[in-house]
Amino acid sequence: MESFLSFWCLSSLRWPEICLSLMIFFSIHHFISQRNKPTKPWPFLGMLPQLLGNVHRLYDWSTYMLKTYGGTSTFHGPSLTNMNFISTCDPRNTEYILKVNFDNFPKGDEFCSIFSDLMGNGIFNSDSESWKKQRRMANSLVHSKAFRGFMARTTQHIVRHQLVPVLSSLARSSSSFDMQDVLLRFTFDSTCTAIFGESVNSLSKELASVPFAKAMNDAMESIMYRYVVPKSWWHLLRLLNIGKERQLANALAVINNFVSQQLKMKMKIKGCSAGMDLLSAYASVSDDEDFLRDTAVNFLVAGRDTSGAALSWFFWLLSRNPDVEKKILEEQRMILAETQRGRFDIEDLSKMVYLHASICETLRLYPVVPMGQKGVVKEDVLPSGTVVKPGTIILYNIYAMGRMEWIWGKDCLEFKPERWVDDQGRLRYENSGFRFLAFNGGPRTCVGKDMALVQMKYAAAEILLNFEIDVVEGHHVSPKPSVIMTMKNGLMVKAKEKPKRCMVSK
Ligand code: HEM
């Protein structure tokens, strides 16, 4: 009777239903038998359930996975999808991928297809000859004496005449505010000035909403979504213009409109004024509007969120490590005593060794570009012994790298700027090799690293000189899963103005 019933049940089902039932049965069986081994792939679904279940704490989960597997692990996506990848935080592997055998590990088509709607064919999103050409151009323009001088002057101006006054007015209001929002506005204005030659003044006392900034956040979030779902799924959403893909399309409309307006203005005055901003420099060597659009967007994305987010993590870490803040203030006091100026100039930044170390330490624990991606051209063996085949995706996990005891020692989770300073009080910055990849490494090292350090150090120095920043009690800070790691709930603080020049007279 029983076998008759089961035969009847099976014969009345069609094959797709039988397959689905089997999948559900094996999945439930797997869930029950493997619930204490959360890294084991599920039948058919691979590790997608774990990924989706941990997406809100993606960085910590991926760190846990890498710790469990000794620094390199394989992620198995659902059957019949191309979601398999190798994840690593092993510095031997990153050195090999990013430098030793660089040509075998381009960003790859997968990466470029995820980012192309936003980044076009810009420097971030290109490989081979196109990248080499753009990189040569970027190196010579960004590192030119004229641009560096322009950058330094405008950063100093924006900090003194926009950032400090806005913070003063917020301090006088005695109410709490989102420091991350203020810092992102600062880096947005400062990056726009570097790229387009003029500020968009998002950092005004009213802190009015900036559609471009919202569009950028939406775009980044939608792109992150593309990472965690099968390709066919986001392609379908894009085709139907729904969900996160609709969000991306709307965001792109705002971003493209903003950039094309800026470009039009630039083209109008081209020839009349030789601006020192990046776009003027690029426009003097190219007329191709698509190329100029892509270049502007790539630099905007690179500059706006990264430095602003890094500064936010820096102030949060200081609030939890008052001893570090004290040491930075002591360094400032000595510089001011020496210069007798009562405020900082850009040239003082080179003397701020401990501040520099604190920013590196911030980026070690909270690298604002938390992961990098590479493809594979020819079969190869990574130094860890992992075999990689053409088409494999490699994710190098910069966030996890800063949290491995075997890389940074037992105190790896502590915020200790001292680890960046040698016995003679000099920065040990260059010696950290491929275990500190906040600015990437090898030929694709961040082009804007020096510019970002000037922006961050100058803003941090002036804020610490003028204000006491207290994080609101009970405010919960956690990283937002996105391409650039900002804080999910912002950074709610109260600011108090310090009595003028109190530090010099100490
Ligand atoms: C705290 C600030 C910053 C951090 C942590 C940072 C980090 C990075 C990282 C990790 C990469 C490699 C990304 C990849 O290959 O996928 C990168 C590339 C790049 N960054 Fe930055 N960046 C910062 C600020 C800036 C600024 C201010 C600019 C200029 C406006 C800039 C311009 C670029 C460019 C153009 C690239 C592409 C380089 C290439 O592919 O050859 N970055 N950056």
pLDDT at 503 over 60: no
The per-residue pLDDT for range 416-472, each reduced to its tens digit, is 999 999 888 888 866 677 999 999 999 999 999 999 999 999 999 999 999 999 999
Enclosing domain of residue 148: 46-505
Decide: residue 332, CB within 10 A, 0-12 exposed, 13-18 middle, 19+ buried.
Answer: buried
How far are the Cα atoms of 26, 51, 232, 397, 400 from residue 41, in angstroms, in the given order? 12, 11, 21, 20, 21
Within a domain: 346: yes
The per-residue pLDDT for range 213-255, each reduced to its tens digit, is 889 889 988 998 888 788 889 999 999 999 999 999 999 999 9
Residue 368 CB–ligand 1 contact under 6 Å:
yes
Q: Which atom of ligand 1 is nearest the CA belonging to 299?
A: 30
Residue nearest to atom 11 of ligand 1 (CA): 446
Task: Count the domains in the chain.
Answer: 1
Q: What is the pLDDT of residue 363?
A: 97
The per-residue pLDDT for range 39-66, each reduced to its tens digit, is 677 777 777 777 777 777 889 989 998 9
Residue 106 CB–ligand 1 contact under 6 Å:
no
Per-residue pLDDT, averaged over 339-351, amounts to 91
The per-residue pLDDT for range 116-133, each reduced to its tens digit, is 999 999 999 999 999 999
Low-confidence winner among 10-14, 141-145, 184-188, 236-240 (lowest mean pLDDT): 10-14
Residue 139 CB neighbour total at 10 angstroms = 11
Alpha helices in 58-162 (DSSP H): 58-68, 91-95, 108-119, 128-142, 145-158
How far are the Cα atoms of 37, 231, 480, 483 from residue 225, in angstroms, in the given order? 26, 10, 12, 10
Q: In this structure, what token pair is assigned to residue 502?
A: 């109190």
pLDDT at 136 over 80: yes
Residue from 121, 134, 158, 306 to probe ligand 1 pocket by mutation (most atoms less than 8 Å from CB)? 306
Within a domain: 2: no
DSSP code per residue over 100-120: ITGGG---HHHHHHHHHHHHT
Within a domain: 38: no
pLDDT at 338 over 90: yes
Residue 142 CB neighbour total at 10 angstroms = 19
Q: CA Rg, the chain, in Å?
A: 25
Residue nearest to atom 16 of ligand 1 (CA): 372
Residue nearest to atom 19 of ligand 1 (CA): 446
SS (H, E, C) 235-263: HHHHHHCCHHHHHHHHHHHHHHHHHHHHH
The per-residue pLDDT for range 465-489, each reduced to its tens digit, is 999 999 999 999 999 888 899 999 9
Task: Report how far ligand 1's centroid is from the alpha carbon of 222 (Å).
Answer: 20
How far are the Cα atoms of 67, 214, 348, 350, 379 from residue 164, in angstroms, in the given order? 42, 23, 18, 21, 54
pLDDT at 506 over 50: no
Cα(294)–Cα(119) distance, integer angstroms: 6
Residue nearest to atom 40 of ligand 1 (CA): 124
Within a domain: 264: yes
Alpha helices in 348-409 (DSSP H): 353-365, 398-401, 405-408
pLDDT band at 371, cuts 50/70/90? very high
Q: Going by DSSP bridges, is the β-strand pair 393-397/85-88 parallel, antiparallel, or unpaired?
A: parallel
SS (H, E, C) 281-318: HHHCCCCCHHHHHHHHHHHHHHHHHHHHHHHHHHHHHH
pLDDT at 13 over 60: no
Within a domain: 5: no
Q: Position of tokens 């109260």?
A: 494
Note the residue count of the chain: 506
pLDDT band at 7, cuts 50/70/90? very low
The per-residue pLDDT for range 306-327, each reduced to its tens digit, is 999 999 999 999 999 999 999 9
CA–CA–CA angle 222, 69, 306 (5° rounding): 35
Residue 446 CB–ligand 1 contact under 6 Å:
yes
Q: What is the pLDDT of residue 288?
A: 87
Residue nearest to atom 12 of ligand 1 (CA): 440
Within a domain: 166: yes
pLDDT at 341 over 50: yes
CATH code of the domain covering residue 392:
1.10.630.10
Cα(497)–Cα(481) distance, integer angstroms: 34
Residue 166 CB–ligand 1 contact under 6 Å:
no
DSSP state of 392: -
Task: Report how far ligand 1's centroid is from the alpha carbon of 399 (Å).
Answer: 16
Q: In this structure, what token pair is assigned to residue 29?
A: 């069986």
Average pLDDT across the chain, whole number: 87
Which residues does residue 262 pair with via DSSP β-bridges, in sequence order? none
pLDDT at 282 over 60: yes
Check the CA dihedral 395-398-399-404 and report its sign. positive
DSSP state of 159: I
Cα(102)–Cα(44) distance, integer angstroms: 34
Residue 276 CB–ligand 1 contact under 6 Å:
no
Check the CA dihedral 299-478-41-79 and report its sign. negative
Within a domain: 54: yes
CA–CA–CA angle 167, 168, 173 (5° rounding): 95
Q: What is the pLDDT of residue 212?
A: 86
Q: In this structure, what token pair is assigned to residue 249?
A: 């399309």
Within a domain: 260: yes
SS (H, E, C) 402-459: CCCHHHHCCCCCCCCHHHHECCCCCECHHHHHHHCCCCCCHHHCCCCHHHHHHHHHHH
